[in-house]
Amino acid sequence: MSSDEARRGPRLLWTLLGALILVGLLPLVVSHYFLIGINRDSLETLERKYLTRSAVGIAGDIQNLLGSYVQQMLKVAGGIRVNRSALPGSQDPFTYAAQSGLITNYTSSDPDLLALRLLNRSGMGAEAKPAELSPEINKEMELAFAAALRGQQYTGKFQFAANLNQPAVVVAVPVTDGGTVIGVVEALVSLRRISDRIREEGRGDVTAFLVDRDGRVLIHSEPVINVQRPDYSGLKIVEEYMKQPLRLTESYDETTGGQTRRMLGTVAPIGRPDWGVVVQKPEAEAYASVSKMVTATIEWGSIALALAILAAIFFATGIARPIRQLADRTREIAAGNYQQRVAVKAHNEIGDLAENFNVMSSAIEQSIEKLKKAANENHQLFINSVRMLAAAIDAKDPYTRGHSERVARYSIGIGKHLQLSPELMRNLRISALLHDVGKIGIDDRILRKPGALSEDEFEVMKGHPAKGAAIMSGVAQLIDIIPGMKYHHEKWAGGGYPEGLRENEIPLQARIVAIADTFDAMTTNRPYQKAMELKYVVEKIQSFAGTRFDPAVVAAFASAVESGDIQIEDQIRGAA
């Protein structure tokens, strides 16, 4: 198989394979691309929603907690207002609350109510609070008292009751009667449950904390940070909250301990008090499910692709193999091997094509055999015709009967040792058979003259090679044998006829026929000479090498005689 055929061989297979893979791969890639995008968006949205729900849930808990205590304070204020109407005019309802134990009942039944004060405008009344509250908390309670006297509901700043080890906030409401503020109900409310909730929410990779509008951490899910209460105003999501207290979810960088991590966080403002709940998580962990999804999708997609490729190879090979067999057998037929058949058992169009190919091959083989037979018959007819023509010419001279046949046989022996191709051997044989055909135009008186020819007669005889070439030139199929006929009397060193050619100017056919013609003339009886001994003839011809004959052809002649490829039937032969 040639390199071009080798390159062409797999083209159909690769085309089919590429088409099948493309058909299977393109929808797979497109679907996986969109599926990954959809799932990525869905998972990222779910993670954002989780963080948002968590932050909003904590913010809601804070609002509900403080709101419930505001409602309780309002109920207490309402009770004081009722008592004021029911008591004698000189009886102060705030002092009565202390005497009746109402305040004690409130604080003892609610562990998150750390302190409670019922005070009239003069700051007198009932109070229940632990001893040794920090100056900051006492100051905050005074600020709350003053704000409530102005008719405002007050929720104070974040406080930490160190003696109680609890975060807290002061809440105060005014007590009004007839549109006039007559006193204040204020409480120190524990944020213990909020701290527990933040700590619970901040387990694992999640961090949760509470900040004020100054960016200072109030409560953190990590106990160490919770105690330190650092300034987080440099954190991007806190910065955004400090600018405008709106709910926000975004990704940002957080630098801790010299290391920067990409975070996904949500801030949920509480509103009153002016705090914000932040819940954040490293983006890598937050979107870990996304990465797993992408990895799993790619892995399963790769498995599906591999299966698709295997299936494509199987089907493409199944289609391409019989077609390639057909192509190989077609090339064999083109090369002349007409016995080729294709064994394809497929019951489809390819099977029909293979069956038709086999029928065609059989028909071609039969036709070729008929053509070969006809060609062989024509060739034999042609050769026999040439032999008869040569015999007819030889018969004009009784001393040259069989001469052309012998010259042809000797020429073939020489050609064999020159390793000529079959085609050149065929042309050489015909040329040798017809080398004297030009004698048909020579007067019988000259041909049959028993003695030596005169100069004029010899000049006439010298014209027979050209006459023969002229006769055969009218047959196009014999154009390749004319050189051996026309120039077999040329001499290697020059001086021959009809054109006086020399050395390689003389066609090889003519150089071979010249030696074979001379050999037969010297080994047969002629009117002017007796047949010579074989050894003498060979030596004589060898002596002419380089002058009359081509040395290479002479060497081939001698080798043919030595190997027995050139033999004479009788030492002394006559015309027959």
pTM score, whole prediction: 0.52
What is the model's pLDDT at position 319?
65
Q: Considering only CA atoms, which of 277, 239, 242, 281 is closest in space to residue 262?
A: 281
What is the model's pLDDT at position 63?
92
What is the model's pLDDT at position 571?
42
What is the model's pLDDT at position 193?
93
Contact status, residue 469 vs residue 482, Cβ threshold 8 Å: yes
Q: Which helix (H) or strand (E) holds 319?
A: helix 288-334
What is the model's pLDDT at position 149?
94
What is the model's pLDDT at position 329?
67
The CA distance from 86 to 395, in Å, is 174
Q: Residue 165: what are its φ and ψ, rounded to 5°?
A: 55, 45
Report in angstroms the alpha-carbon separations of 567 from 162, 516, 523, 564: 138, 12, 10, 6
What is the model's pLDDT at position 405?
85
Q: What residue ranges define each of the domains in the chain, with the CATH number in brackets? A: 45-191 (3.30.450.20), 194-282 (3.30.450.20), 396-563 (1.10.3210.10)
Q: Considering only CA atoms, which of 483, 478, 480 is closest in space to residue 465?
A: 483
Q: Considering only CA atoms, which of 534, 560, 558, 524 is closest in space to residue 544?
A: 558
Q: Considering only CA atoms, which of 479, 476, 498 is closest in space to residue 487?
A: 498
Edge-to-edge strands of the sheet including 217-220?
Answer: 217-220, 207-212, 275-282, 259-269, 248-256
- The string of DSSP letters for 222-264 reads SHHHHHH--B-TTSHHHHHHHH----EEEEEEEEETTEEEEEE
Contact status, residue 387 vs residue 405, Cβ threshold 8 Å: yes
Contact status, residue 302 vs residue 294, Cβ threshold 8 Å: no
Work out the angle at residue 522's Cα, subtended by the Cα atoms of residues 519 and 523, and round it to the nearest 5 degrees.
85
Q: Considering only CA atoms, which of 56, 66, 65 is closest in space to residue 208?
A: 56
Per-residue pLDDT of the chain (576 residues; tens, 9 = 90+): 444 544 454 565 566 666 666 666 666 666 655 555 556 666 677 888 888 999 999 999 999 999 999 999 999 898 888 888 888 877 888 888 777 777 777 777 888 999 999 999 999 988 888 878 889 999 999 999 999 999 999 999 999 888 888 999 999 999 998 889 999 999 999 999 999 999 999 888 899 999 999 999 999 998 888 777 788 888 999 999 999 999 998 988 888 777 888 888 999 999 888 899 999 988 887 666 666 666 766 777 677 777 777 776 766 666 666 666 666 767 766 666 766 666 666 666 666 666 676 677 777 777 777 777 776 666 666 666 666 666 666 665 655 668 888 898 999 999 999 999 999 999 898 888 888 887 877 777 777 777 777 887 778 778 888 888 888 877 777 788 888 888 999 999 999 999 999 999 999 999 999 999 999 888 887 666 788 888 999 999 999 999 999 999 999 999 999 999 998 865 444 433
Burial of residue 163, with CB atoms counted within 10 A of its CB: 0-12 exposed, 13-18 middle, 19 or more buried: exposed
Q: Which tokens in the block code for residue 422?
A: 């079959």
What is the model's pLDDT at position 395?
61
